[in-house]
Structure 1
Amino acid sequence: MTMAQQDTDVMRALRGLEHSDASVRLRAAMAVGTAPDPRFVGTLVERCATEPDFQVRELLTWALTRHAASATVPELVAALGSERAQARSQALHTLSKVGDRQAWPAITRALMTDADDEVARSAWRAAVVLVPEGEEPELAEVLATQLGRGGRETQLSLSRALVALGEVIVPALRAAAEDPAPHVSLHARATERLLRDPDAGFEFAIEEAKRIVALGTDFQEE
């Protein structure tokens, strides 16, 4: 294939990513991921910030993971400073899939406590994947500040992130279990229940936490 033909294919794929038809954008993202080209990276990251279709966004992330981390990580990290919540959340989601720990310094407390639930949830997942060995206790303390936040899906996301860190989360959970706010205390207790019994469902863990509080059972004995 000549250089001119390659450039034509690149331009065609880039136009496809902006097509009004989601199925066309889906095929374009698939094509970009199948034949990675560094010239695509900036456009892929920009498109992640505005793409309305979930399936297309997932393929955009997949396409980015097919490119070299040295090309994608700087662009994704830059997107974390965007005022657009979707840009931040999708960049975090993609960084968690790329898995390059050089991005760890960019996963800030501000992102993990972002006012937008989707951004915060993506930051929790990315942090658990990228945290350097030995820094898990500090991460657990930051995540524990978000216990009791949001609805069921947000709380479940946080519990899963915490449980993925393992036993290091226990001190932070037990401190949060003494919080005077019932929604914080129950979430902390339910999360430790999930740590002890990964097969327990979240709803069951919450109900167990309520039962323990009602009976006055000491948290540390559970």
Structure 2
Amino acid sequence: MNQTLQHGNPSVRLRAALDIGTSPDPRYLDALLQRCAVEPDFQVREMLTWALIRLPSPLTVPRLIDQVRTGGVLARSQALHTLSKVKDKAAWQVITEPLIADCDDEVARSAWRAAVVLVPAGGESALATMLSTQLGRGGHDVQRSLSRALVALGSVIEPMLLHASSSKDVAVRAHALATEALLRDPDAGFAVFEAKRVDALGVVDTAG
């Protein structure tokens, strides 16, 4: 089974991960983690994650935390994604400010998504403040990921958005406005470009 996880054909690797997940066996934990760290195919990665969450969390969570702390970019991103699916609050310890601000966008996005799932009750406001440091970061997809994570925290983000909407940084202001619109109407989609237009009109109106 370990060899089929390394096969050159992604369909074979997908099947191997499916078979492991169908009959969970802790003996395959190392092989699954090793493959997650290098697997280029999205569908295979999703199946690897499914196989991992089928194993007992007391075994997988410590190993996934170790991957987040010491692994390469793909290993860290995939480990965070898997932790968000396991939903074991013991993994909250790995969510730190440096991780939220990781220089790699995929690692950071995975951290944002995991954080809102793992945050302990009562910690939502502090997490919102931590996430707000990333407002204005990156392109449309990155900003949309952050906004979705913030909106998942609910109304606790409103004071933070109010503060960010008066930032001197145009990108931060627009991102905050787009997030606020998404919070009001989650079905409306993420429109940072419209938020920039509204922000620009607001600046003009103020000057007038």
| TM-score, reference length from structure 2 | 0.94
Match status 1:139 vs 2:127 = yes
Structure 2 Cα separation of the partners of residues 215 and 107 of structure 1: 36
- Deviation of residue 21 (structure 1)? 1.4
What's the counterpart of residue 106 of structure 1?
A: 94
User: Is the 8 Å Cα contact of residues 109 and 142 (structure 2) preserved in structure 1?
Assistant: yes
Give the 3 Å change call, closer, same or farther, for CA 206–195 of structure 1 in structure 2: farther
Name the SS of the counterpart of 2:153 in structure 1.
helix
The answer on 1:214 being equivalent to 2:201 is yes
Deviation at 1:217, TM superposition (A): 9.8
How many angstroms apart in 2 are the aligned matches of 1:103 and 1:208? Answer: 35
Q: How far 1:192 sits from its partner (Å)? A: 0.7
What is the CA distance between 1:22 and its match in structure 2? Answer: 1.0
Q: Distance in 1 between matches of 2:186 and 2:71?
A: 37
**Alpha-carbon separation, structure 1, partners of 2:77 and 2:195:** 32
Is 1:77 the counterpart of 2:103? The answer is no
- Offset from partner CA, 1:85-133 (integer Å, 9 cap, x none): 1111000000000110010011111111100000000000000000000
| Equivalences for residues 159-198 of structure 1 within 5 A | 159-198=147-186
Q: Counterpart in 2 of 1:5? A: none
Partner residue, 1:152: 140
Counterpart AA for 1:214 = L
Separation of aligned partners in 1, 2:141 and 2:106: 10
Report % sequence identity: 58
The answer to whether residue 105 in structure 2 is matched with residue 117 in structure 1 is: yes
User: Are the aligned partners of 1:187 and 1:206 in contact in 2 as well (CA < 8 Å)?
Assistant: no
1:38 corresponds in structure 2 to 26
Q: Distance in 2 between matches of 1:206 and 1:188?
A: 12
Larger radius of gyration: 1
Cα distance in structure 2, aligned partners of 1:208 and 1:177: 11
What is the Cα deviation at residue 163 of structure 1?
0.2
- Other-structure match for 1:89: 77
How far, CA to CA, are the matches of 1:146 and 1:84 in structure 2? 22
Q: What count of residue pairs does the alignment treat as equivalent?
A: 205
1:216: how far off?
5.0
State yes or no: 1:24 paired with 2:12: yes
Please tell me whether the aligned partners of residues 7 and 13 of structure 2 are also in contact (alpha carbons under 8 angstroms): yes
Q: Which runs of 5+ in 1 are unaligned?
A: 1-12
- Cα RMSD of the aligned pairs, angstroms, is 1.6
State the match for 2:116 in structure 1.
128
Cα distance in 2 between the residues matched to 1:63 and 1:100 = 16
Q: Are the counterparts in 1 of residues 32 and 48 from structure 2 also a CA contact under 8 Å?
A: yes
The match for 1:52 is 40
Structure 2 residue identity aligned to 1:71:
L
TM-score by length of 1: 0.88
Alpha-carbon distance in structure 2 between the residues aligned to 1:152 and 1:82: 29
Distance 1:148 1:201 in 2: 17
Residues 163, 191 of structure 1: 8 Å contact kept: yes
